[in-house]
Structure 1
Amino acid sequence: MTTATTGSNTASLYIGGEWTAPDSDETIEVTNAATEQVMGSVPAGTEADVDAAVGAANAARGVWSAFEPSQRAEICTAIGARLQDRAEEIAGLISQELGSPITEAMMIQAALPAITFTSMEHLYEHLPWEQTLGNSLIVREPAGTVGAITPWNYPLHQIAAKVAPAMLAGCTIVVKPSEVTPLNSYVLAEIID
């Protein structure tokens, strides 16, 4: 079976910066919203897969949070630029998965995730990472690993709206995309990879 993505990793899960085999052979079929034809499949993640993802995210937390906020903002900006470079592919994929018109998919579904990641540079520049309040010093630090469960209707934007600020803050992330529109999340994983 082929998928609508240009990547070849939809049989794998992206865990700890690596494409890994899922714990189970069970898959979820993804259908084209317009034709109701199967357009691809993704692994049906198991509890063991979630444990592996959370473990990897927790293990990476120290390394990622040690990056300066300015470095994390630069990485987010680079991700935004690569999303923009693949906007037509993303729009086409989401149009098929979601059933949105291609024009809407291009203007909203593909553009907003790129803008969200790129805007982290502006947020970094205007966020007081350290602030004195009376005799106290407030230091903004990563809180830990973020679990992001996203809906089907604005699939990649919902992921970007959770992942980009968490990355900027120095948190690691485990993403569970909607089973209805999961293929577009693979494009983001390919970009991050």
Structure 2
Amino acid sequence: VFGHVRPGMTIEKEEIFGPVLSVISYDDDDDAVKIANDTVYGLAAYVQSGDIDHARKIASRLRAGQVSINYPEWDTFAPFGGYKQSGNGREYADWAIHDFLEIKGVIGYGA
């Protein structure tokens, strides 16, 4: 756990894999969303809140491939993959196969 992390610090900007938590202060919801989205990465995000409706509103504003609300684990039935410079396509569930498919429309009478 890293405390006193400020926007712009390397640990805040780089995508770190491992059991790492950076604690960043924010003024309000808009500030929190701005800080969370101000990165070239977007693999996953987490929202903790006692108000599930409020958490859903915040989650919808985050630019991440998967957003977990009050839930620290993966859901293998949900698509997983990042936005921006994180991840390639989607994994898990039915979404994983779509990267290997090429869609074709066949039209016309008797087609």
TM-score between both structures, scaled by the size of structure 2: 0.26
Task: Judging by fraction of residues, say which structure has more strand.
Answer: 1
Higher helix share: 1
